[in-house]
């Protein structure tokens, strides 16, 4: 995604999945524990490869227990689990990766690189076949792997058991723990002496997020914890300033040479640090006042906690990392090819009009396609229609409203389309 070249960052979007929902009894097929699979994604623009690094088991399962074979947002990759004995699909999940973002850069035209990718799945009771597919911007499969996992194999490493779990504080309890969205705040660039400050930042961040609808009205669907993960050094690395710090998550500005792109390539290190805590989604709280951040759908969300726009960036990036929303802004001179104009992007909040019926037509006043111009002074800024310029592309990609949290941090609300998308995804996990 080239959104990193624009305001803040990244990731992703959506296209409804058409797999027919089946009633799968979670407890019959899965145990209450997590199968973590570490993959290595490698290659360049010419070829991509997926290889297995390590399998591990962690106590507790903190992802979905319903809608097991459905996905609410397509993402740039999918992972499927089928029973080895029958081939029946029993679990499906979707995500995007830093590797695929890198593939859009000029750098990817040269030597191949390898990226870490960690996926969390419910631990099956019986042997299963896992399939991972990576997709390009045209929704075509570019790399695939299928492999068998026998849950009783001794090669599955145990992690996060016994006393080997990082300390954490529960900040928000859900009404129903079996139907909750589990988010872990993780400290990055906070030393031991700065842990109280970190916990205060977590509380501020959480209350900030719950200040926005629809999170506010659905607050009791979330379990939010703050994991205590101290760093040796204070603050993340800033290579362009010669700052190289030793930190818990290895986060850095200047990712891919882009100054404000703050992220970490150390995905395994991040999951190792919080193994055994109740989490599915991760928000990395980075102790810096320098502007930056990044959000990758169902992978991670990083942001700076000491900048005046801390809360706004958290909420915006969480829109990417949790709900698969695309950026609704566009810049002159930047015409990334993330969204080929003859393909409908899968983000719920942008369209190329190639298959608009799946998007927000039903939210438009007269249920018909209307393209409006924001230069019209009579325009009601809440009118849901089609406004050109979104996904960093000025022409041919449309957004639903003149303004929205996914377009500018100055507007402290989500547009009706993003708001509905977030609500839908919360209900998908928890209703």
* Binding stretches for Zn ion (CB under 5 A): 349, 404, 406, 415, 418
- In angstroms, give the least distance from the CB of 328 to Zn ion: 5
Q: Cα separation of 152 and 248, whole Å?
A: 32
Q: Cα separation of 45 and 37, whole Å?
A: 25
CA angle 371, 376, 381 (to 5 degrees): 75
- In angstroms, give the least distance from the CB of 93 to Zn ion: 24
- In angstroms, give the least distance from the CB of 260 to Zn ion: 22
Q: Cα separation of 376 and 359, whole Å?
A: 24
Q: Cα separation of 405 and 322, whole Å?
A: 14
Q: Cα separation of 62 and 79, whole Å?
A: 17
Nearer to Zn ion, 68 or 426 (CB): 426
Nearer to Zn ion, 124 or 391 (CB): 391
CB atoms inside a 10 Å sphere around CB 22: 12
- In angstroms, give the least distance from the CB of 314 to Zn ion: 16
| Closest C-alpha among 351, 317, 418, 296 to residue 11 | 296
The two structure tokens encoding residue 153: 């194999």
Q: Cα separation of 293 and 287, whole Å?
A: 12
- In angstroms, give the least distance from the CB of 392 to Zn ion: 15
- In angstroms, give the least distance from the CB of 98 to Zn ion: 24
Nearer to Zn ion, 231 or 349 (CB): 349
171 and 225 in contact (C-beta within 8 Å)?
Answer: yes
First and final CA of the chain: distance in angstroms? 31
CA angle 292, 11, 310 (to 5 degrees): 30
Nearer to Zn ion, 11 or 415 (CB): 415
- In angstroms, give the least distance from the CB of 326 to Zn ion: 9
Nearer to Zn ion, 223 or 316 (CB): 316
Cβ neighbours of residue 101 closer than 8 Å, sequence gap 6 or more: 1, 2, 4, 10, 11, 256, 296
Nearer to Zn ion, 79 or 390 (CB): 390
* Element of type H or E holding 320: helix 310-321
* Element of type H or E holding 313: helix 310-321
Which letter does DSSP use for residue 25 in this model? -
Nearer to Zn ion, 269 or 408 (CB): 408
Q: Cα separation of 88 and 245, whole Å?
A: 47
123 and 59 in contact (C-beta within 8 Å)?
Answer: no
Nearer to Zn ion, 303 or 415 (CB): 415
- In angstroms, give the least distance from the CB of 312 to Zn ion: 14
Nearer to Zn ion, 303 or 401 (CB): 401
Nearer to Zn ion, 140 or 381 (CB): 381
- In angstroms, give the least distance from the CB of 374 to Zn ion: 14
Strand, helix or coil for residue 314 = helix
The long-range contacts involving 376-384, CB below 8 angstroms and separated by at least 24 positions, are 382/416, 384/360, 384/415, 384/416, 384/417
- In angstroms, give the least distance from the CB of 414 to Zn ion: 5
């Amino acid at each position: 995604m080239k959104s990193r070249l624009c305001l803040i960052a990244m990731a992703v979007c959506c296209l409804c999945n058409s797999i027919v929902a089946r009633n799968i009894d979670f407890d019959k097929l899965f145990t209450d524990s997590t199968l973590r699979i570490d993959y290595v994604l490698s290659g360049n623009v010419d070829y991509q490869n997926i290889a297995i690094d390590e399998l591990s088991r962690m106590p507790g399962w903190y992802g979905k227990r319903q809608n097991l074979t459905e996905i609410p947002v397509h993402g740039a990759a999918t992972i499927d689990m089928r029973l080895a004995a029958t081939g029946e699909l029993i679990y499906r999940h979707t995500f995007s990766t830093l590797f695929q973002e890198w593939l859009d850069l000029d750098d990817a035209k040269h030597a191949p690189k390898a990226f870490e990718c960690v996926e969390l799945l419910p631990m099956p009771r019986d042997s299963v076949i896992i399939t991972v597919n990576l997709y390009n911007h045209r929704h075509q499969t570019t790399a695939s792997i299928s492999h068998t996992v026998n849950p009783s194999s001794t090669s599955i490493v145990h992690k996060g058991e016994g006393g080997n779990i990082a300390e954490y504080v529960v900040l928000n309890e859900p009404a129903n723990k079996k139907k909750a969205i589990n988010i872990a705040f993780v400290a990055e660039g906070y030393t031991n002496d700065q842990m109280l400050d970190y916990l205060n930042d977590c509380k501020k961040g959480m209350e900030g997020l719950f200040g926005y609808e629809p999170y506010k009205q659905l607050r009791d669907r979330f379990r939010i914890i703050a994991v205590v993960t101290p760093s040796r050094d204070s603050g993340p690395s800033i290579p362009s300033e010669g700052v190289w710090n030793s930190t818990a998550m290895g986060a850095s500005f200047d990712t891919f040479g882009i100054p404000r792109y703050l992220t970490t390539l150390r995905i395994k290190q991040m999951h190792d640090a919080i193994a055994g805590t109740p989490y599915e989604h991760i928000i990395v709280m980075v102790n810096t006042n320098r502007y930056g951040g990044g959000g990758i759908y169902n992978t991670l969300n990083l942001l700076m906690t000491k900048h005046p726009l801390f809360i706004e960036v958290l909420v915006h990036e969480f829109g990417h990392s949790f709900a698969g929303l695309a950026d609704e802004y566009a810049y002159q001179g930047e015409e990334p090819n993330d969204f080929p104009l003859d393909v409908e992007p899968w983000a719920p909040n942008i369209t190329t009009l190639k298959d608009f019926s799946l998007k927000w037509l039903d939210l438009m006043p007269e249920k018909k396609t209307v393209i409006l111009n924001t230069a019209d002074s009579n325009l009601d800024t809440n009118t849901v229609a089609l406004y050109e310029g979104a996904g960093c592309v000025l022409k041919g990609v449309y957004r639903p409203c003149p303004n929205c949290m996914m377009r500018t941090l100055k507007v402290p609300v989500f547009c009706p389309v993003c708001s509905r998308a977030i609500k839908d995804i919360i209900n998908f996990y928890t209703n």
